[in-house]
Amino acid sequence: MLDARQITLVQSSFAAVLPHTDVVAAGFYARLFALAPETRALFRHDMTDQGRKLFLTLATVVDALDALDRVLPVAEALAVRHVSYGALDRHYAIVGEALVGALAETLGDRFDADTRAAWIHAYTLLSDHMRTAAAGASIAAAA
């Protein structure tokens, strides 16, 4: 779990990027597609709209960091849906790298080592649950 300081770091840094969501989202997807070009085919809709969806999801998660049990079922359902879109287990690490990179670029010096570590910890907690749910969905689909 996250401690109170980590939650504060993630929430305050997220609040700082909110005025720049379009820029952060564009940076995130540019990084994602550079790191894993095959993921570009998973996004068939307007990328501006996709970026808004990304930030709505992030806002929900960031707001509930002190009560992850509320958001984990939603994240797990999202992961199961992403299996049908073609998301793979290895994409989770790449998404995390792209997200942290986009946040770091936007926040600059405000994205210090402690803030980076808090985001990585939060993302790892969430993505581990999502990966487990996705693996279960993949096994069920293959059966």
Would you say the C-alpha torsion 137, 91, 121, 61 has a positive or negative sign?
Answer: negative
CA of residue 133 relative to chain centroid, distance: 15
Residue with tokens 């993949």: 138
The verdict on domain 4-142 having CATH code 1.10.490.10 is yes
Q: Helices 47-63 and 21-35, interaxial angle, to 10°?
A: 100
pLDDT of amino acid 118: 98
Does the structure show a pLDDT above 80 at 128?
yes
Does the structure show a pLDDT above 90 at 141?
no
pLDDT of amino acid 142: 62
pLDDT of amino acid 143: 56
Measured between alpha carbons, how far is 89 from 131 in angstroms, rounded to an integer? 6
Measured between alpha carbons, how far is 99 from 30 in angstroms, rounded to an integer? 10
Average pLDDT over residues 69-89: 90
Q: How far apart are the first and last CA of the chain?
A: 33
Average pLDDT over residues 11-40: 96
The answer to whether the CB of 33 falls within 8 A of the CB of 95 is no
pTM, to two decimals: 0.92
pLDDT of amino acid 137: 76
Average pLDDT score, the chain: 93
Domain edges within the chain: 4-142
Q: Which residues are within 8 A (CB) of 70 and not within 5 positions of it... i.e. 6 or more apart?
A: 64
CA dihedral 26, 77, 131, 55 (to 10 degrees): 20
